[in-house]
Structure 1
Amino acid sequence: MMILLFAQWCINLDLDPIAIYKEAYPYQEKNKELVDALELTVPKKESDHIDSETLLEVLSLYGNDDLAFVVSDLMIRKNVK
């Protein structure tokens, strides 16, 4: 569920979830769970808003601190709330 939340958040903001994940975990092979989650995402106009702070909390809860750091940096650079 956490991966789907991340993927949909990226879709909603016109961001590439695979590129963002690769930035957080550059030495990791392709993440099959992320690829699978991308198949379950919906177009941004069909999606509910996903609060960025909620995403950060969920990522931290599951120990994805590196990904949370990259997401946080993106939020600052793109002024995402």
Structure 2
Amino acid sequence: MESADKSVEERIVESYRQDEDMMILVFAQWCVNHGLDPAELYRKAYPDQLVNERLARVLELTVSREEAGDIPDQTLLGVLSLFGNDDLAITVVDAITERDQAKRHPGE
């Protein structure tokens, strides 16, 4: 019975990791779509972490802005919230605010 329990646990952990990777991909693609550096935003949110290897790995899966579908800001914030990435969500909100201010006041 222990073997079956461990197998179920391993599948749950693997499923969570895959979901986390999808969240990271949504974040990274949103950044690419808006001309932002995902690694830089991540560093702003988590300055004590040196390098996020999963982010680096997932960055290879992003496509150009032209190839990607639109990712609404609220979708990204919802996904980040779902995984408890509040610090990253705050950093994203700051980037959204800067972007929106630049649109309202170009050239400033």
What's the TM-score once normalised by structure 1's chain length?
0.95
Q: Which runs of 4+ in 1 moved over 2 A?
A: none
Q: Which amino acid letter does the alignment assign opposite residue 79 of structure 1?
A: D
Q: Amino acid of the residue matched to residue 35 of structure 2?
A: D
Question: Structure 1 residue 77: deviation in Å?
Answer: 1.2
Aligned to 2:73: 52
In structure 2, the partner of 1:33 is 54
CA distance in 2, matches of 1:78, 1:44: 16
- Structure with bigger helix share is 2
RMSD after superposition: 1.1
Give 1:74's match in structure 2, choosing from 95, 102, 108. 95
Matched pairs, number: 80
Which residue is 2:63 aligned to?
42
1:19-60 Cα offsets, whole Å, 9 max, x none, are: 000000000120001001100000110000000111001001
Q: Which has the larger radius of gyration?
A: 2
What secondary structure is seen at the aligned counterpart in 1 of 2:66? Answer: helix
* Separation in structure 1 between the aligned mates of residue 34 and residue 26 of structure 2, nearest angstrom: 12
Which amino acid is 2:56 matched to?
V
